[in-house]
Amino acid sequence: MNSLVKSAHEIQLMRESGQLLARVFTELDKIIDLGMSTLEVNDFVERFIVETLNARPASKGQYGYKYVLNSSVNEVICHGVPSPSKRLKNGDIVNIDITLEKNGYIADSSKMYLMGSVSPAARELVDVTYEAMWAGIKAVKHGTTLGDIGFAIQNHAERRGYSVVREYCGHGIGKEMHEEPQVLHFGSANSGMRLQAGMTFTIEPMINQGSHKTKLKKDGWTVVTRDKKLSAQWEHTILVTQNGYEVLTLRPTEMR
């Protein structure tokens, strides 16, 4: 069997990890609020994963990272580091990116939170990014290509006047957080690897208000927009099926 294709047993374990991660966001929805520091968000999530779910925060210790999540506020594209001094304020948009491992298999998802009264421009960016993620997800099916996913995302974002970050992408996932293949959020239709039922990977587009160009800050983690305009991101872990896709990290609020 192709090493990228998971067995039925592995898929079930990934499904269970994904459902647990969805529960994390459901609990986070209840407590995240203005005035909280991003480190307080991190600590709440860590306690819930470890003490309530009896699972492991997969990001902690990965590549030497000390925290259980990324908290990317406003112009931060990804990999924002939790801090006691970074408090969520009125008008902020923040991406919370969390990974969870249970029984040896990892799920990865992120969600945007809009804090207080957010500008119409910021809200539109968040909404279009969510739509772009779903455009990519809906391109998933046995026999389609990775390029179809990237094309769908890029087409949706650019038609609305936004840009797609190039340097960071989705990835295969399973026993390891980052497996093959790389899942670009831009590209050409009918190009790249052909998808097979049983593959699992993340789709996690980062969409900018201005230029797609990025800058890595001196902490070696935090990635920001070079022009300091806003960025948004959403992410789900996806299973390829014969007839389409299954979103392994789907949250109750998204079930249609």
Residues tagged in the binding site annotation for substrate: 79, 178
Residues tagged in the binding site annotation: 79, 97, 108, 171, 178, 204, 235
Residues tagged in the binding site annotation for a divalent metal cation: 97, 108, 171, 204, 235
Residues recorded for the chain: 256
How far is CA 168 from each of CA 194, 204, 207, 213, rounded to the nearest angstrom? Answer: 21, 9, 11, 11
Start-to-end C-alpha separation, the chain: 34
